[in-house]
Amino acid sequence: MIKDFILPDIGEGVVECELVEWLVKEGDTVVEDQPIADVMTDKALVQIPAPFAGVVTKLYYAKGDIAKVHAPLYAVQIEGAVEIAGEESVATEPAAATAKVTEPVAATTANTSSSSSVSIEEFLLPDIGEGIVECELVEWLVSEGDWVEEDQPIADVMTDKALVQIPAIKAGKIAKLHYRKGQLAKVHAPLFAIEVKHMASAPAATANTVTAANAAPAAQIVNAEPARQGKALASPAVRRMARSLDIDLSQVPGTGKHGRVYKEDITRFQQGASNVSAPSTTQVKEAEATQASQTQVTTSTVTQRADTVEPIRGVKAVMARMMVESVSSIPHFTYCEEFDLTDLVALRESMKVKYSSDEVKLTMMPFFMKSMSLALSQFPVMNSQVNADCTELTYKARHNIGMAVDSKVGLLVPNIKDVQDKSILEVAAEITRLTQAARSGRVAPADLKDGTISISNIGALGGTVATPIINKPEVAIVALGKLQTLPRFNAKGEVEARQIMQVSWSGDHRVIDGGTIARFCNLWKQYLEQPQEMLLAMR
């Protein structure tokens, strides 16, 4: 069966997104949860996973197109996905019923199926909170093949705000659970599939007979097996604590609302269990009992420590893939230099009060970008791009200078367009706008595209020297170290305090050699160390 994947809501207020990259092609066989595409909203870069396994038959958008939310993104051929109706139910249901219930129940099901039809319906995870687009699957409360009633709890999911229980909206049999425990479920994506029976003219008594017959063996199974830990209402942290102490959460009395179990409840339960076994130790010497108690406390403390595993998703996953591709395909080389920015710092301080506002922050970055643009005019190869097989070099006419920003969604590199045509104050206004947008995770796709060279300001966090990775397909990137007050000799041989910054270049050695990057850096350094030279070079 060919099924269209409908692009779900991927953010509050988002109605469309840019298709940044297809991670598969038509004809590829994909598995459940495999990344299919990277899309860019006005908030962040999002990776779209496959909810079903199958063969991709059609990609509805090309790279760079704008995809619409709630419209088909791609089509997939799902193997073994069929709808069961009429005579198919007669053939399949008796066999399944014979394996799970008694012979009379199988006969009853076979007789009623002639006047009924069965279809498999997907349950889409609904909106469970304002702004929430995904949640952690904490625990399945049912298994595949279980019969459920309307409003029966199906799963516990954890958002960044609360633990939520998902009920069944229809009665039927669970056909497929699309997520495993601990995975992130997407809002408006299928959570589970349920086999729903549509009765044509079957009497109510027959339906009740089947339900009762199925419920009886199910109850026997539940009574025969120990209670599962997941039946308790508790947060993931509490569940981890219970697992580390080998305690069954279903046996712990919860003191929270609706029986929610807290860490204090586990502690009390553990102490109570110790008290039960206390009479058996009363015959032991007091010193030995005290030592055993101390050992138990120490062991409990140690066992609570556990490694934390966090999946790499979204912007971080895209950044990881791009960095690996850059390092593996571009021969990097590094060049470092020292800048004396004493005069530039004084110039900026004298202008900051007059020209800074809420819309414009006159930092050092606008001076770095404008002077870099002036130097690029003399060394256009630094503003070039090379094709994939390194047979063509394109000299970019626009100076779109990117700046790496440590945002809450990961590393973003928005760029200021056409720096060669902007004044320092205009560049400062753009930097202020993009910095605020990046730190809130709301950078527009257009601001992330078409960069030609990049600056990484590691000095804002305290570093001095770095080996930055080139932002492919650019050919150069520079890292700015922190500004330090250091002693240096002046022209008279006297020691004086100067404002020193280390800069570290990484270049694509396929198109840039050491001499070129050194001469370019010297010109850039001249404009920054002697701001009057930069002013004279402006047009």
pLDDT reported for residue 517: 97
Which of 31, 320, 24, 7 is closest to 180 using CA atoms? 31
What's CA 26's distance to the chain center, in Å? 25
Q: How far apart are CA 64 and CA 69, in angstroms?
A: 15
pLDDT reported for residue 234: 67
User: Which H helix or E strand runs over 434?
Assistant: helix 424-439
pLDDT reported for residue 174: 93
Q: 188: how many CB neighbours lie within 10 A of its CB?
A: 17
Which of 150, 98, 93 is closest to 116 using CA atoms? 93
Q: How far apart are CA 473 and CA 385, in angstroms?
A: 6
Which of 39, 240, 247 is closest to 158 using CA atoms? 240
Residue range 59-73, pLDDT digits in tens: 999 988 888 888 889
Contact 137, 108 (CB under 8 A): no
Annotated active-site positions, please? 509, 513
Tokens of 316: 């971080």
SS3 516: helix
- Beta 415-416 vs 184-186: how paired, if at all? unpaired
Which of 323, 296, 344 is closest to 525 using CA atoms? 344
SS3 449: coil
Question: What is the widest separation between alpha-carbon atoms in the chain?
Answer: 107
Tokens of 126: 């609904």
pLDDT reported for residue 205: 40
Residue range 265-284, pLDDT digits in tens: 888 888 876 554 444 444 44
Tokens of 194: 């349920």
Return the DSSP state at 7.
P
Contact 75, 31 (CB under 8 A): no
pLDDT reported for residue 524: 98
pLDDT reported for residue 353: 84
Contact 539, 378 (CB under 8 A): no
Contact 178, 32 (CB under 8 A): yes
pLDDT reported for residue 6: 86
Contact 453, 476 (CB under 8 A): yes
pLDDT reported for residue 130: 55
Return the DSSP state at 441.
T
pLDDT reported for residue 292: 54
Which of 385, 368, 452, 378 is closest to 418 using CA atoms? 452
Which of 157, 93, 168, 91 is closest to 123 using CA atoms? 168
Contact 51, 190 (CB under 8 A): yes
User: Which H helix or E strand runs over 456?
Assistant: strand 453-456
Helix ranges (H only) for 135-195 are none
Q: What is the mean pLDDT for each group of 10 consecutive residues in the chain (539 residues)? A: 80 74 91 84 74 89 87 84 38 37 36 59 78 81 90 80 76 91 87 81 41 39 38 65 81 76 84 54 49 54 75 75 90 97 95 84 94 97 94 96 84 93 95 88 83 94 92 95 95 96 97 96 97 91
SS3 299: helix
SS3 113: helix
Sign for the CA dihedral angle at 232, 238, 240, 244 comes to negative
Contact 209, 112 (CB under 8 A): no
pLDDT reported for residue 231: 56
